[in-house]
Amino acid sequence: MKIIILILILSFSLAKSQTVLFKEDFEDNLFDSRGWYDAPKGTITNSEHNIGSNYCFECKFKQNGKTCSAGTPGRHLFAESNEVYLSYYVKYSSNWQGSNKPYHPHEFHFVTNADDKYIGPSITHLTLYIEQNEGRPLLALQDSKNVDTNCILQNNDKFIGCNGDFNKYQFSENRSVASCNGLIGGLDRRDCFYYGSGYYYSSRAWAADSIYFREQTGKYYKSDWHHVEAYFKMNNITNGKGIPDGQIRYWYDSELLISYDNILFRTAQFPDMKFNQFLIAPYIGDGSPIEQTMWIDDLTVATSRLSTDVLEENINGLILSPNPAGDFIEINVGARHAVPLPEQLEIFNIFGEKESTSVNFVDTSASGGHLRIDISNLAPGVYFIKIGDKFEKFVKW
């Protein structure tokens, strides 16, 4: 058994390399010395911090306040990239309410080289949003500067121009990829309204299927530290046209909550658009309903998630994710495969030794779908899952 597993180790490709663009540990507030700009400031506190650190960034909203009362680290430029990955730890005060609206607070943004380094993130050629609204994780984009005002679908489903028919209007590549100018590719929700000064706010968003920052103590308690990761990959431009093949991902404590592979971020109007700027910008547009606080620690911006191959392992028709993993692994077996029974599944370490710790099967589906495995009792390292005569490799961190 050991010999077989060691041979398999040699047959796997090496883990995908991760180019770190910058890191911020929030151990002091000398933000400008680490590349932050546009009035970098903010509160660093040791009353709260992630495990292994001594300080973190504190954003306190005063009642009716719209932004962090003591400011934020601001903006950070990085090397232009077609893909970006964000990792950070976050905690909210026990009385956290957010905005009490289905929008806001905004929290983090990526902006591109299509705009200047001081662009306001709400009206750009492309801004990405990573946040949680009313406890529900959310990814979004807006590209209001690209809107073709000759054909617009508003939030009330009424059209401006184009005789109320997207299909017959001859859109060029000089158009928004968000909701005002059509709905190409994956979509969860949309927003299009007149912003003022000749601009329409045009956005689209994707939310998790449940609330993950919760009032009750337990696994999803909002006032515990949680690890959030997000990933975005630009779509391709082929034959002078934007192809909806961009990618988005959102992980919460290593659980993959949002995943799409058919996103349109850019058209051929901006074929060289790349991500190059990151903002920490917590914002409640209507004012905070109460005094409340969020804490952020151990932030990393990179080109990709440190992972094997791509974002998921897909071997012999079985999809194993996330990888690297935290407390859980999911096996997506699809409708054409029978879900493996517990006695058909074994976990080995890199020495070929079977792990004696029990594996807790949290969720099974006899009609296909996925199998969720609790691996919280495993030490960090490289492991193999054996299903019948098939082996799947994963990394526990």
Which three-class secondary structure string do you get for 323-388? CCECCEEEEECCCCCCCCCHHHEEEEECCCCECCCCCEEEECCCCCCEEEEECCCCCCEEEEEEEC
The mean of the pLDDT values for the chain is 85
Is pLDDT above 80 for 236?
Answer: yes
Place of tokens 């054996």: 386
CA distance 72 to 28: 13
**Structure tokens belonging to residue 310:** 């791509």
Q: 19-302 has which fold?
A: Jelly Rolls (2.60.120)
Domain residue ranges of the chain, discontinuous segments joined by +: 2-12+307-396, 19-302
- Closest Cα to residue 303, out of 280, 281, 276, 325? 276
pLDDT digits (tens, 9 = 90+) for 133-152: 999 999 999 999 999 999 99
**Three-state DSSP state, 236:** coil
Average of pLDDT values for 202-218? Answer: 96
E strand or H helix at 3, and its extent? Answer: helix 2-11
Say if CB 104 and CB 292 are below 8 A apart: no
Alpha-carbon distance 313 to 259, whole Å?
14
3 state SS of 5: helix
Give 95's DSSP letter: T
pLDDT tens digits, one per residue of 348-379 = 776 667 776 555 555 444 444 556 777 888 88
Look up residue 246 and give its amino acid. Answer: G
pTM: 0.76
Given CA atoms 110, 114, 119, 122 in this order, what sign does their dihedral have?
Answer: negative
Check residue 308 and give its pLDDT: 38
**Which has the higher per-residue pLDDT, 266 or 396?**
266
Mean pLDDT across the stretch 369-390? Answer: 72
Tell me, yes or no, if the two domains 2-12+307-396 and 19-302 fold the same way.
Answer: no
- CATH, range 2-12+307-396: 2.60.40
